[in-house]
Amino acid sequence: MNILITGGAGFIGSHLALRLLQDGKKVVLLDSFHPHYSRERKQYHIEQVQQHGAVSFYECDVLHKEDLRAVIQQEKIDTVVHLAALPGVRPSLEMPSLYIDVNVKGTTNVLSCAGEEGVKKVVFASSSSVYGEQVGMPLAEHMANGKVLSPYAASKFGAESLCYAFQYMYGFQVNILRFFTVYGPWSRPDMAIGIFLRKLLRQEEISVYGTGTGRDYTYIDDIVNGIVFTLESKHSDVYNLGSHAPVLMTELLDELRRYFPAMRVKQEEGRMGDVTSTWADITKAQTKLGYQPSVSFEEGLERTVVWARKHAHLL
């Protein structure tokens, strides 16, 4: 298996690359170093991966289809894990067209290059945001109906639809994975846990938005396991990858207070684009892939705090 990871310098991509290297796979990374967060941080991720084995890295934008094609041809890629995207709900409210460009057109380029170059399998990183604000919980795969709250979520839902179109056109295997709020060492600096840890380590006040909110926080190793199971599977499908253990914001704050007893919290109004809560139904991934999340929130947060204290300069 020659595996290309788009967005390979990012949080999830670099963890996945490390795991695949450990499993003896040939891994190729591609990333544009989009300035959503710092290039230095992403270069650090690549360096960490390259310390564990020979990995080719291409600085390449998925919006440049011929550059993408050249990488797939040169490296004889048969499997693509497409993680490259502009993530995050709030910036997508400000820059909707940019999100549609990267997440929809970029995904179209990946899918069409994959089809034209004979790639056998594409794994697409979708998001729990495709469920929008729902009354019933937990969220099962069939419940996504396109009624989303942000251009980011719409871009992921649209890109999922393109996955089905290109699967039909080219007959390759496509697996859509809906990740639920991923955290852990190297967590993205623009997500709640990343922001909180950066501020807490600087003794700054943290802000929480809205009340009664919760997220199905999923530890990075569990997400990576889910992707690896998907790479081993032989059938196209869509799966939730979550922990099936939602954590209220109040519970997250209580956990953080154990490490930062002097923590100061400012309560702010809820923000547009954010759903109130998420809770993954993971029955399908459990039964069809053998996926089983194994890191509790308490344990995962402890590992993340230890990492953040050691790498405060990177946060």
Ligand X SMILES: NC(=O)c1ccc[n+]([C@@H]2O[C@H](COP(=O)([O-])OP(=O)(O)OC[C@H]3O[C@@H](n4cnc5c(N)ncnc54)[C@H](O)[C@@H]3O)[C@@H](O)[C@H]2O)c1
Catalytic residues: 152
When asked if residue 42 is in the footprint of ligand X (CB under 6 A), the reply is yes
When asked if residue 10 is in the footprint of ligand X (CB under 6 A), the reply is yes
Find the shortest distance in angstroms from Cβ 264 to ligand X: 26
C-beta of 42 vs 121, nearer to ligand X: 42
| Cα 301 from chain centre | 17
Do residues 6 and 77 lie in contact, with contact meaning Cβ atoms separated by under 8 Å? no
Find the shortest distance in angstroms from Cβ 68 to ligand X: 8
Residue 12: name the closest of 244, 158, 194, 227 by CA. 227
When asked if residue 83 is in the footprint of ligand X (CB under 6 A), the reply is yes
When asked if residue 36 is in the footprint of ligand X (CB under 6 A), the reply is yes
Find the shortest distance in angstroms from Cβ 261 to ligand X: 27
User: Which of 188, 242, 275, 297 forms a contact with ligand X (CB under 6 A)?
Assistant: 188
| Number of residues located near ligand X, criterion CB under 6 A | 29
C-beta of 149 vs 267, nearer to ligand X: 149
Find the shortest distance in angstroms from Cβ 103 to ligand X: 7
User: Which of 85, 113, 144, 275 forms a contact with ligand X (CB under 6 A)?
Assistant: 85
Find the shortest distance in angstroms from Cβ 308 to ligand X: 16
When asked if residue 13 is in the footprint of ligand X (CB under 6 A), the reply is yes
Only one of the segments 82-90, 92-100, 133-141, 303-311 lies at the binding site for ligand X (rule: CB under 6 A); that segment is 82-90
Where along the sequence are the contacts to ligand X (CB under 6 A)? 6-7, 9-13, 31-34, 36, 42, 61-63, 83-87, 102, 106, 125, 127, 179, 181-182, 188
